[in-house]
Structure formats: structure tokens, C-alpha cells
Amino acid sequence: MPDMQAPDQVVPRALGDYLDVMSKAAFQAGISWKVVESKWPGTREAFHNFDIEAVASMSPPEIDELVVDTRVIRNRKKLEAVVSNAEKLIDLQAKHGSFQTYLRSFPDFETLVKNLRKEFNFLGNMGAYYFLHVIGEEVPSHEQWMRSGK
């Protein structure tokens, strides 16, 4: 196991806070967490500090600019996923009254993870676990989750 510490938890105050954590989880899929961490300040800046409305309204030409921007991890599909995920966060908040209400509407952790994977791009089992842990939602211990075969 690398010398990675458990990530700090945050208290989301706005949808953009959820998007920030979710996007970091998406970028970590298949990429060293150290690389993602080193690029994160530039990623935040490139995505308007995760202002949800600004990100959701980003255009294809803006994504084209990010694909050549050295401040970010230049993976077009993941960059596009940030915009798509921002749109989905807005939609789910509108449908449920708050994003937290959506998260807590599932009968168990596994069903929630399955739904997150379905709704959001580049969010796999470990990304969903990371996301939920960092935003302070109840998650099983990492060891228990790994033993469950996820």
C-alpha cells in the first residue's frame, strides 16, 4: 500500500463542493493520487473553483482549451465528465430538494454506490467510496468494503 494518508473530510456547503470531491475521485481513476493532488489547484482554477453553474455551462471550445492546459490532467473524457457531472448534480438536487437528500434516499451503502456509478461519469466503486467518505457520509470501513469484493 502506498504511503497515502486517509483524505481529509469536508463539509459540503454547496453543490460545487460535492463536484470538487467527485471530480478528484474521477481523476484519480487510473492515475497516481500524487499526480492528481499536484494538479488540483490548477484544476480548481480551470473549473471556476467548481462554481456549479459556471462548470455546467462550459462549452466544448472551453474543454478544447483545457485539453492543452498544463494546469490540469489533459484527459478529454475526464474533463468532459466534470461538466456532465455538474449538470447531473444540479438535476438531482432539483429532483430531491438537496443533493444530501438524494444521497440518503438509498436503503444501503451498496445500492447508493451502484446508483452513483450509474448517474456519474468516471465514478467507480472506489471513487464512490472515496467521494462518500470525504463528504462525511457513512461508509463501511475500508477493510470491510474491500472484503466485500467491491
DSSP 71-116: TS---HHHHHHHHHHHHHHHHHHHHHSSHHHHHTTSSSHHHHHHHH
Greater model confidence, 6 or 66? 66
What are the tens digits of pLDDT across the range 9-19? 889 999 999 99
What are the tens digits of pLDDT across the range 37-53? 999 999 999 999 999 99
Predicted confidence band at 2 (pLDDT cuts at 50, 70, 90)?
A: very low
Q: What is the model's pTM?
A: 0.91
C-alpha dist (Å) from residue 92 to 37, 63, 147: 28, 23, 31
What sign has the CA pseudo-torsion 56, 59, 60, 62? Answer: negative
Residue 4 confidence (pLDDT) above 60: no
Greater model confidence, 149 or 148? 148
> Under CATH, which number does the domain 15-147 receive?
1.10.340.30
63 in Cβ contact with 79 (< 8 Å)? yes
Q: What is the pLDDT of residue 149?
A: 63
The DSSP letter of residue 50 is G
What are the tens digits of pLDDT across the range 55-89? 999 999 999 999 999 999 999 999 999 999 999 99
